[in-house]
Structure 1
Amino acid sequence: MKIKIFLLSLSIIIIFSVIKYVFWPSAAADTVMGISHNIACPCECPMVLEDCHMSCGMEWKDMIGKRLMAGAGKDEIEGYFFKRFGKESMLTPLQRIHGKWYQITRGGYPISDIALFIALVFVWSGVLYLIITGVLDFLEKGKTKT
């Protein structure tokens, strides 16, 4: 039973971590990185613009920066990219997952960052495991008293 609870905890933490990393931008919405989180890289690679460091991606980030400095908001800038470059410039959830996976498999992350992520997943899984087992024990004790 304890192994099942730990595996449940581990699964919940991994799912939450993946969803947070892939779908929630790490930067504020009114920054270049926050806006580029929703835009596809114009290069042939499947990267998210936020992660691209090639010249074509840097040009688009520069365009975002210039529009931000001119006072445009996130919706205006995304609308500009959609009108100028079409729907291909906007990321779908599947493209976002492929782009992030591409970055991981192409050596875009140092091994220390990956090790830290794995350690944090296990620590938070342990915390969640303790919470779940504590609640189950509390409920079990409540049943035996009545």
Structure 2
Amino acid sequence: MPSTVLEPAAGLWAPLAGVVRASWRALAAMVALMAGVALVAGLLVGDLATPLAAAGWGIIVTWSSLALHEWGHVLAHRLGGAARRGEGLVCGEWSGVWVSLPATGPVHSRLTALAGPLVGAALCGLWLLAGAPAWIAGVVALVHLGNLMPVFPDGRILFRGA
């Protein structure tokens, strides 16, 4: 599993570079899945432009909001004063990207857990304003907000405070 260490003194933008580096496998999987489905759908209906354009928007909106979702966790963690408590780790596999941050108090942990989905969903809103199809931006935003359910790591932290 490739990972990038987040140094406490690296500033606020350096973690975003770490997330981007760790997410290339997830990006490759997204491109293969979305472009593959779009290509088959386009060939079946005789129109390649529409499904491939939708796949392009899906890849752009999903990957960029995924990267900023994880960066939102790191940003909240550091802005809450946790940068002095140790380093974090950005991990990436074919199935996704996540950050592992040092433990903090329950309130700070909850705010850190909440920041990722909110930043990811907000970016989806910006992509919508930039012209992304509403159904793509809406579905991806719902996935981010769905991370707040207690069955997912962000939601478990938010509701349990651990």
Q: Same fold (TM over 0.5)?
A: no
Choose 1 or 2 for highest CA Rg. 1
Q: Which has the higher strand share?
A: 2
Q: TM-score, normalised by structure 1?
A: 0.32
More relative contact order, 1 or 2 (CA 8 Å, 6+ apart) = 1
